[in-house]
């Protein structure tokens, strides 16, 4: 009887511990739709408190942002660096802005269509890769979100209708209110926008900006909105925002506010200037300790210190360390470490890849086993540089590639992987094989 009592106490203790457990989300298939429980982002499927370690695009309005909206780019982020979520930052003003196109030569309606098409590409790419995705209404120079509230209502009505059946879409309704915009102003806006989203996506997580460039989460904590499944943004740039800003976060945590860092950088607040990895480490440790999700700014090759890629780098996916900026190397190494990918040695290079035509517009591929591999990833494309490539993961040493195009030449390459935490550690690619589909 005594042993039974002790075992019961142990089980209850474990259950209490697990109810507060925070796990890094592996993917949508594992965790399903997200919801807000207390101050935590929570899986509707397992009930676990989870965190997202994400990356934000730069403005998808411009050529430093939209070229990286692709399945190949997102796949590189996920598979090589342990990223599990994407934020699509769509500026509402400035050149090619959704609400004010400024000097863009296209009509405003044409600009809007282009931006919505880019969002659709991003949402679908993230969905195919089992990643979460934020659609971000990027208020900045317009300062007060109420300025374009009518346009925001129309936009979020359309987005929430279109993606109502998607388990992985979150909505960020105002990026960085500023210029004296008060929490009262933001609350007024949110109280009108959130019901528009709720009409179509009643359980979707909605993320609301806070005053002073989304830094005053402590102000929001004093008077949170009355809706369920709402989180509040905190943005920081490590070389500028230090202890006093972490104190704001701690105050909001103490009051139970659900916070998400939808944008952070290692640089100064301008997005440029010095990088401070020491302060950034303090931030990420604090966020992980408290189960708070975060998104690095930005997936771009812009000539500024917050960009994750080197200025002018032409590669749109498949980056190596030499393609990353100083900030990118640090951010991605941290993500790998926090995903449990560090310390795992990459498997050996795949040798002996052979491909041949198979009946019905198919390719039969086989290769030699790599002794320390958990599986293999085969990549194929009609482009020799593997643009718009397709990837398939297999556990054995052969595969049939199907639904190929007749009389097209395909390029095929392969790499082995080891399972590492919530991600995979990949080895080097095999030699590329070239084959033409005969029939």
Which H or E element spans position 364?
strand 362-366
Token readout for 171 is 């909505």
Spatial distance between the Cα atoms of 57 and 374, rounded to a whole number of angstroms: 32
User: Peptide bond preceding 298: is omega within 30 degrees of 0, i.e. cis?
Assistant: yes
- The three-class DSSP label of residue 214 is helix
Residue 79 a catalytic site member: no
Q: Which of 172, 263, 268, 279 is catalytic?
A: 263
Q: Is the dihedral of CA 97, 100, 102, 107 positive or negative?
A: positive
Residue 263 a catalytic site member: yes
Spatial distance between the Cα atoms of 238 and 297, rounded to a whole number of angstroms: 12
3-state secondary structure 271-320: CCCCCCHHHHHHHHHHHHHCCCCEEEEEECCCCCCCCCECCCCCCCCCCC
**Residue found under tokens 């749109």:** 316
- Please choose, from the candidates 348, 357, 319, the residue with its C-alpha nearest in 3D space to the C-alpha of residue 414: 348
Q: Which of 172, 176, 268, 304 is catalytic?
A: 176
Token readout for 203 is 């359980």
Residues marked active site are found at 176, 263
């Amino acid at each position: 009887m005594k042993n039974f009592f002790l075992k019961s106490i142990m089980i209850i203790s474990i259950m209490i511990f697990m109810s507060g457990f925070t796990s890094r989300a592996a993917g949508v298939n594992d965790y399903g739709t997200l919801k807000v429980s207390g101050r935590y982002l929570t899986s509707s499927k397992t009930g676990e408190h989870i965190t997202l370690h994400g990356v934000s695009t730069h403005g998808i309005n411009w050529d430093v942002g939209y070229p990286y909206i692709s399945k190949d780019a997102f796949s590189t982020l996920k598979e090589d660096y342990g990223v599990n979520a994407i934020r699509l930052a769509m500026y509402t003003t400035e050149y090619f802005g959704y609400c004010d196109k400024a000097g863009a030569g296209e009509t405003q309606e044409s600009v809007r269509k282009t931006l919505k098409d880019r969002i659709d590409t991003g949402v679908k790419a993230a969905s195919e890769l089992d990643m979460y995705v934020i659609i971000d209404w990027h208020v900045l120079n317009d300062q007060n979100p109420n300025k374009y509230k009518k346009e925001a209502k129309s936009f979020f009505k359309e987005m929430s209708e279109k993606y109502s059946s998607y388990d992985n879409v979150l909505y960020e309704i105002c990026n960085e209110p500023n210029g004296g915009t008060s929490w009262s102003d933001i609350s007024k806006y949110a109280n009108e926008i959130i019901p528009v989203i709720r009409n179509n996506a009643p359980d979707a997580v909605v993320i609301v900006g806070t005053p002073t460039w989304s830094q005053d989460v402590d102000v929001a904590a004093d008077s949170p909105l009355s809706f369920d499944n709402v989180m509040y943004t905190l943005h920081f740039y490590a070389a500028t925002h230090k202890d006093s800003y972490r104190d704001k976060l701690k105050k909001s945590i103490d009051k139970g506010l659900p916070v998400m860092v939808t944008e952070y950088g290692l640089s100064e607040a301008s997005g440029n200037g010095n990088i401070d990895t020491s302060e950034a480490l303090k931030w990420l440790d604090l966020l992980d300790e408290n189960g708070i999700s975060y998104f690095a700014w930005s997936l771009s090759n812009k000539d500024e210190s917050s960009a994750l890629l080197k200025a002018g780098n032409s590669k749109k996916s498949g980056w190596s360390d030499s393609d990353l900026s100083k900030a990118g190397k640090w951010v991605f190494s941290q993500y790998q470490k926090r995903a449990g990918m560090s310390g795992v040695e990459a498997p050996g290079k795949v040798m002996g890849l052979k491909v041949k035509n198979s009946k019905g517009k198919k390719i039969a591929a086989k290769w030699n086993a790599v002794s320390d591999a958990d599986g293999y990833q085969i990549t194929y494309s009609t482009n020799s540089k593997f643009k718009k490539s397709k990837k398939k993961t297999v556990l054995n040493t052969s595969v049939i590639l199907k639904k190929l195009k007749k009389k097209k030449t395909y390029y095929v390459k392969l790499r082995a992987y080891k399972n590492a935490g919530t991600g995979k550690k990949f080895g080097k690619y095999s030699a590329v094989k070239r084959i033409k589909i005969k029939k």
